[in-house]
Amino acid sequence: MKYTIDQTHIRSINQRVILNRIIQTDTISRAALSRLVHISKSAMTENISSLLGTGIIQEVGAGSAKPTGGRKPILLKFNREYAYIIAIDLNYADPIFVLANLGGDIINRFTISVTPHASYEVRLELVKNAISTLIASINLTSAERTIIAISSPGIYRPADEDFRINEQFSNWKIPQMSNQLSELFHTKVLIVNDVNAAAVGELKYGIGKGAKNLVYISCGLGLGAGVVINDRLYEGSWNSAGEIANFTVPTVHGCTRLESLVNIDALLTRMKAAPPETLKAICDEHGQPTFKGVVDEWKNGDDYIREQIADISFQLGCAISNIISLLNCDCVMLGGEYRIFCDQMLPIINRIVRENAFHPVDVVASSLSQDSGIYGLLALATDEIFNELCNASDRKISAEDNSN
């Protein structure tokens, strides 16, 4: 029995290695794949046979023969349509919905508008309709080979369905929604913290590509950090790693938490003390300052707004400098709604980092903008599908071995 378990575990590892490599290629022969991943030809034959049986890879004809002659090799190709991913980013006022194939190609994408005070029931109905629209757009008769991946603000622990979220997002009842969507569409629902998803997106597809240790800072409606250590997302013992919103700061403007000093609500509160001409320019028809108004006047060079952004940059710079000294990371990026202020914020943040961090690294703007979380969901959902597939193959082989 011990031998069977060991062997099936090795098969699982080998199949993951093969899938991770073949998804990056157009077509490839068994021999070339064997050389790339350093797996023996016999093990390669066995694992390829198993993966061909699932349909996730396909034989697509013959390649070129060697100059010395011999048979032409049969080429293998990753089946990008083996499964589909529905990625939903709830981090924005208008949630983003995406349908992609397993190769990460986006097939359909749209946003829906949700009023801030909409009930959970209304939100659930909007999400259900959006998912149904995505599935129907490629004429899928069922969602059996579709995984739903959702990025959401807050901390979610699936084991005990513990969900903690800021008040402004409380109408997204993630544990309840996860269960209801899973039952309705007969598929797995993967829930990921929004900032963690963005960190993975930048690692796999964005400016963090090639980094080993990175930190993604999201600032805007909320404040958080996604941490990657040795190429892997680090979530901590209770899935709350990166909750820098709770960093304690000296009392400023009545605030003792970093988030309540720098987020959009704090920025709009600061605007109430703005000069009359600034206040008039940034307020809506009800006389309330708006983030869009602030951004527009910041672009116009408003002195008061630029002073407030400079102060927020200083506060973030101190926090980021401490994070760099603690984690000794090689890449730090700023995303979220405040990415729009990067031209002013990054020089201030980087000056503080250079002056104070033990081993300074440049803080840069995230490269995928609003899509960081979406691409992170695609990467994490693909990992989930690969793991399920390889583990299912292990269980099948182990059962066959035990019956003999």
For the domain made up of 2-79, the CATH class stated in words is mainly alpha
pLDDT for residue 251: 66
pLDDT for residue 10: 81
Residue 90 three-state SS: coil
Is there a contact between 18 and 47 (Cβ–Cβ < 8 Å)?
yes
Report, at the CATH architecture level, how domain 209-367 is classified.
2-Layer Sandwich (3.30)
Long-range CB pairs of 236-244 (<8 Å, 24+ gap) are 238/155, 238/157, 239/155, 239/156, 239/157, 239/193, 240/155, 242/193, 242/195, 242/196, 242/215, 243/155, 244/217, 244/319, 244/323
Nearest to 234 by CA among 203, 264, 257: 203
pLDDT, tens digit (0-9, with 9 covering 90-100), for 122-178: 999 999 999 999 998 888 766 556 899 999 887 777 666 677 776 666 778 888 899
In this predicted structure, the answer to whether residue 109 has a pLDDT above a threshold of 80 is yes
Helix intervals (H) in 29-99: 30-37, 41-54
∠ CA 221-196-347, nearest 5°, is 60
Pick the CATH number of 84-198+372-386 from 3.40.718.10, 3.20.20.70, 3.30.420.40, 3.30.70.1060: 3.30.420.40
pLDDT band for position 244 (cuts 50, 70, 90)? very high
How far apart CA 317 and CA 74 sit, in angstroms, is 55
pLDDT, tens digit (0-9, with 9 covering 90-100), for 211-234: 999 999 999 988 999 999 999 999
Which phi-psi region, left, alpha or beta, contains residue 231 (left: φ > 0; alpha: ψ -120 to 50)? left
Q: What are phi and psi of 26, to 5 degrees?
A: -85, -70
Nearest to 152 by CA among 216, 243, 226, 89: 89
Q: Average per-residue pLDDT in the chain?
A: 87
Residue 264 three-state SS: helix
pLDDT, tens digit (0-9, with 9 covering 90-100), for 59-99: 987 767 666 656 788 899 999 999 999 999 987 678 999 99
In this predicted structure, the answer to whether residue 400 has a pLDDT above a threshold of 60 is no
DSSP 88: E
In this predicted structure, the answer to whether residue 374 has a pLDDT above a threshold of 90 is yes
Same fold, 2-79 and 84-198+372-386: no
Could you tell me the two tokens for 54?
């699932």
How far apart CA 359 and CA 89 sit, in angstroms, is 34
Exposed e or buried b per residue across 3-39, where buried means at least 16 C-beta atoms within 10 angstroms of its C-beta? eeeeebeebbebbbbbbeebbeeebbbbeebbeebeb
How far apart CA 118 and CA 116 sit, in angstroms, is 6
In this predicted structure, the answer to whether residue 396 has a pLDDT above a threshold of 60 is no
pLDDT for residue 344: 98
Rg (CA), the chain: 24
Q: What percent of the chain is modeled with pLDDT above 90? A: 59
Which phi-psi region, left, alpha or beta, contains residue 262 (left: φ > 0; alpha: ψ -120 to 50)? alpha
DSSP for 129-182, written as a single string: HHHHHHHHTTT-S--TTEEEEEEESSEEETTTTEEE--GGGTT--HHHHHHHHH
Is there a contact between 227 and 242 (Cβ–Cβ < 8 Å)?
yes
Domain ranges of the chain: 2-79, 84-198+372-386, 209-367
In this predicted structure, the answer to whether residue 398 has a pLDDT above a threshold of 60 is no
Amino acid at 350: N
Is there a contact between 80 and 101 (Cβ–Cβ < 8 Å)?
yes
Nearest to 15 by CA among 36, 58, 42, 46: 46
pLDDT, tens digit (0-9, with 9 covering 90-100), for 291-340: 999 999 999 999 999 999 999 999 999 999 999 999 999 999 999 999 99
